[in-house]
Structure 1
């Protein structure tokens, strides 16, 4: 991770940057909605079903299988399996099936195609039921559209699941483009932002990127020449000066989408 220097107050350059942008790029998961919470609820529901279906399954030690062991294995698989950030074009159901099959394989549990389909349906139902927008998301997007800005979602994830998420959250009216790593076959850290600029035919200096991940949103967007807003809910507002490629780059930092909206409105005054 790149170092994050001391916070500075916002200045007039920052306000002009927000005002002059013609496009705003947004990350989706954990920027516009509470993905981690929804995904965690879906994983828990699915693992509980696996345990329920195999309640009498014993480990090699003779001890009964527990939900904690299933979840630990799932998290291990998730950590090692998403480094490529969904660039191989598979559907969300294929990714999920691989993960849950991997968990069951680790404990010697057999699973038929029909049983796997039930698990996938359980996950899908649970994640849709637990989707929740970040506070202030719709109001911010409405403000940007009212000002005539174009908006794109730039996200790492399967195309099909991100389309379902955008639809379920009611975000479709506010976005002009949905660009995923899954569709283009390139991760954010490997050039997705440059590809997005080419697809949309816009210059980097005309874009502001908003995302929650320093490493997968802010740094690669900066490397593509895009101005950035880092959405860090547990941090303070302000700015960061970052040394990147021999240059000092200024990053806007906000701890709420409402704060970003206020800054954008201030820029228009």
Structure 2
């Protein structure tokens, strides 16, 4: 069987393989100390919105070259997001939130069932990999923290900062097809972000599984091929699709 006859099944990283809300909640709690009723999940989604928007303004994947600008962007996203929920952070406080958030991102626990599903897909003979936005060193540190080296070889780890295109740019998905010998019609992408994962993979002609474990609403009229809210659902779906 040639590589192009195998299915290519690729995953996002942040908030798809592990709970990205956990380091956010911990950082905000430690520094800002909001009330117990603070809506962490809603604030987290706004932080990710500002992160995407400000990163795009800096030039996307190429922004890794602007070291100081990226540091300022990461601080600013917390100020903008938390301000919407009544928390005004000065620059020093926002820097502290970012610092704690960064430190906690490497204390990663994968979602229940995630590692087991990856192993099952690898054992089934599929081409498994990761596609993630961000600076190469930063994202690779997260991937190493998940200890996935026995499941996914380095040549199937695609980080926008190294590749040169950010999701949702369809070119990053086309690059993955070229690099792995897969075809769009045989490629699946699993991710939580509507803007980056669903929209981008659809534009590249891939099959899209929206990992909507937070129960958020679609942001446009794009239509993912499938939706799963947990790794149990995802495993059952992939079984129905003949992947396991």
When normalised by structure 2's length, the TM-score is 0.69
Q: Provide the C-alpha distance between the structure 1 equivalents of 2:145 and 2:71, rounded to a whole number of angstroms.
A: 22
Unpaired runs of at least 5, structure 1: 1-19, 49-70, 237-241
Matching of residues 24-173 of structure 1 within 5 Å: 24-42=9-27, 45=30, 47=31, 75=47, 78=51, 80-83=53-56, 86-90=60-64, 97-99=71-73, 122-129=100-107, 131-173=108-150
Q: CA deviation at 1:169?
A: 1.5
Unpaired runs of at least 5, structure 2: 33-42, 80-87
State the structure with bigger RCO (CA 8 A, min sep 6), 1 or 2.
Answer: 1
What is the number of residues matched between the two proteins? Answer: 210
The match for 1:189 is 168
The answer to whether residue 228 in structure 2 is matched with residue 254 in structure 1 is yes
Q: Provide the C-alpha distance between the structure 2 equivalents of 1:216 and 1:153, rounded to a whole number of angstroms.
A: 14
Q: CA deviation at 1:206?
A: 1.7
User: Cα 1:209–1:92, aligned 2, differ >3 Å: closer, same or farther?
Assistant: farther
User: Cα 1:81–1:144, aligned 2, differ >3 Å: closer, same or farther?
Assistant: same
Structure 1 residues 136-170: Cα deviation after superposition (integer angstroms, max 9, x where no partner)? 10111011011011111111122111111111122
Aligned Cα RMSD in Å? 3.9
User: Cα 1:164–1:91, aligned 2, differ >3 Å: closer, same or farther?
Assistant: farther
Greater strand proportion: 1
When normalised by structure 1's length, the TM-score is 0.63
Structure 1 residues 164-203: Cα deviation after superposition (integer angstroms, max 9, x where no partner)? 1111122232223111221122121222212222222321
Q: CA deviation at 1:98?
A: 1.8
The match for 2:182 is 202
Q: CA deviation at 1:250?
A: 6.4
Asked if 2 retains the 8 angstrom alpha-carbon contact of 1:93 and 1:120, the reply is no
User: Cα 1:265–1:92, aligned 2, differ >3 Å: closer, same or farther?
Assistant: farther
Asked if 1 retains the 8 angstrom alpha-carbon contact of 2:28 and 2:97, the reply is no
Q: Provide the C-alpha distance between the structure 2 equivalents of 1:260 and 1:110, rounded to a whole number of angstroms.
A: 41
Q: CA deviation at 1:214?
A: 2.2
